[in-house]
C-alpha cells in the first residue's frame, strides 16, 4: 500500500472478540475477525499509519476493544 502512496488508513475493529464480531457483523468469510487483526498488524509492520476505531454499541466492551487495539497499534480512537 505504501508503495502506491497510501500512508495511513482507518480500520474499524467492531468488537473485542471473534464471537461478538461474528454476531455483530455476520461475516461471510470464515476467520474474518482474525483477518482484520492480521491486516492491522501487517499494515503497521509495513509502516502504514493506522487508526483503529470501534463503534460504541451496548453489546461492545469499548475498554476491552481499546486494550486490544493498543496491543496492535498505539493510535486507538
CB count in 10 Å sphere of residue 40: 20
Directed axis angle between helix 18-25 and helix 32-45, to 10°?
110
What is the reported pLDDT for 53? 87
Report yes or no on 6 lying in a domain: yes
State the sign of the Cα–Cα–Cα–Cα dihedral 16, 13, 55, 65. Answer: positive
77 in a structural domain: no
> Does residue 7 sit within a domain?
yes
In this structure, are residues 46 and 2 in contact, taking their beta carbons and an 8 Å threshold?
A: yes
Q: What is the pLDDT along the chain (77 residues), one digit of tens a residue?
A: 666 678 889 998 889 999 999 999 999 999 999 999 999 998 888 888 888 888 888 888 888 888 888 888 765 55
| pLDDT at residue 71, rounded to an integer | 86
What's the predicted TM-score (pTM) here?
A: 0.80
d(CA 42, CA 50): 10
Domain total of the chain: 1
- Examine residue 55 and state whether it is found in any structural domain, yes or no: yes
pLDDT at position 19: 93
Structural domain of 38: 2-72
Amino acid at each position: 500500500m505504501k508503495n502506491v502512496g497510501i500512508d495511513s488508513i482507518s480500520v474499524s475493529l467492531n468488537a473485542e472478540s471473534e464471537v461478538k464480531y461474528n454476531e455483530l457483523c455476520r461475516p461471510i468469510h470464515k476467520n474474518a475477525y482474525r483477518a482484520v487483526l492480521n491486516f492491522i498488524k501487517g499494515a503497521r509492520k509495513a509502516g502504514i499509519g493506522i487508526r483503529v476505531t470501534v463503534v460504541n454499541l451496548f453489546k461492545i466492551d469499548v475498554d476491552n476493544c481499546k486494550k486490544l487495539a493498543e496491543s496492535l497499534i498505539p493510535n486507538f480512537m
